[in-house]
């Protein structure tokens, strides 16, 4: 397990050891260790603080944008994809307490787990430091995304994008090959997107829908990397 002090330095805040450990405790680890508390309540709290902080910043900094565009940008910044990207940049994965099943399936790099943990860390920061410090931390982490055109794509329904792209380019039917693994309390799904008999992307998630969306996003990035004729 990586040093928690290094993580706190990257976050730029102080969180007491007990609260930090709770924020990093995934339900799979809690289940395997006698049903100890998980980070899910902190995640719930952090989600609200994240949404409030981003909404306020967008309202203040973009006075000319209509409500629909503000909502689109907020959705992008608080999306699983965006939060997971932040978590990877901060190297959060190596600090998460995971059950053996999640470890075997590389849970430390699953977007859903990383995003949930980021929200829990925001909640932990709030409990230990108050709303101003928590809001400052949130804005340090998400500010680059607020004006990043690519980040706005995180709000896109990737499945719809792929469906339209496949139809317009005559790539054949879009098929999602989805498999599930793990016990019911920690079920994980893997999706593989297939077009015209070829695999274009993969994704993981705690639901079939989440795995399919991630696979569609992966396929979209694959398609964008193909040189134009």
Residues with catalytic roles = 47, 119
* CA 144 from centroid of its chain's CA atoms: 16
215: Cβ contacts below 8 Å, ≥ 6 apart: 176, 191, 192, 193, 201, 202, 203
Contact 29, 97 (CB under 8 A): yes
Task: Say how far apart CA 114 and CA 95 lie, in whole Å.
Answer: 10
Which residues lie below 8 Å from residue 200, measured CB to CB, with a gap of 6+? 193, 194, 218, 219, 222, 223
Is 61 known as a binding-site position?
no
Is residue 91 part of an annotated ligand binding site? no
Q: Which helix (H) or strand (E) holds 7?
A: helix 4-11
184 is in an annotated binding site: no
The span from the CA of 163 to the CA of 65, in Å, is 29
Alpha helix locations (H) across 130-207?
131-146, 149-152, 158-168
Summarize the annotated binding site as residue ranges. 43, 116, 119
């Amino acid at each position: 397990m990586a040093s928690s002090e290094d993580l706190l330095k990257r976050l730029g805040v102080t969180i007491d050891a007990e609260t930090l450990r709770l924020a990093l405790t995934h339900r799979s680890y809690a289940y395997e260790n006698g049903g100890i508390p998980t980070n899910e309540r902190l995640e719930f709290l952090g989600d609200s603080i994240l949404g409030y902080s981003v909404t306020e910043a967008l309202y203040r900094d973009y006075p000319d944008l209509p409500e629909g565009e503000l909502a689109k940008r907020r959705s992008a910044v608080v999306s699983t994809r965006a939060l997971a990207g932040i978590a990877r940049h901060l190297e959060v994965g190596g600090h998460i307490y995971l059950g053996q099943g999640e470890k075997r399936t590389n849970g430390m790099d699953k977007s859903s787990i990383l995003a949930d943990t980021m929200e829990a860390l925001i909640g932990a920061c709030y409990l230990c430091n108050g709303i101003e410090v928590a809001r400052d931390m949130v804005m340090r982490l998400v500010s680059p995304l607020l004006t990043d055109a690519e980040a706005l794509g995180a709000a896109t329904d990737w499945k719809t994008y792929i469906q339209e792209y496949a139809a317009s380019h005559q790539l054949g039917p879009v098929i999602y090959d989805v498999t599930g693994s793990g016990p019911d309390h920690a079920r994980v799904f893997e999706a593989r997107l297939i077009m015209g008999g070829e695999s274009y992307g993969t994704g993981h998630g705690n639901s079939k829908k989440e795995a399919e969306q991630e696979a569609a996003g992966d396929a979209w990035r694959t398609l964008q990397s193909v040189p134009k004729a």
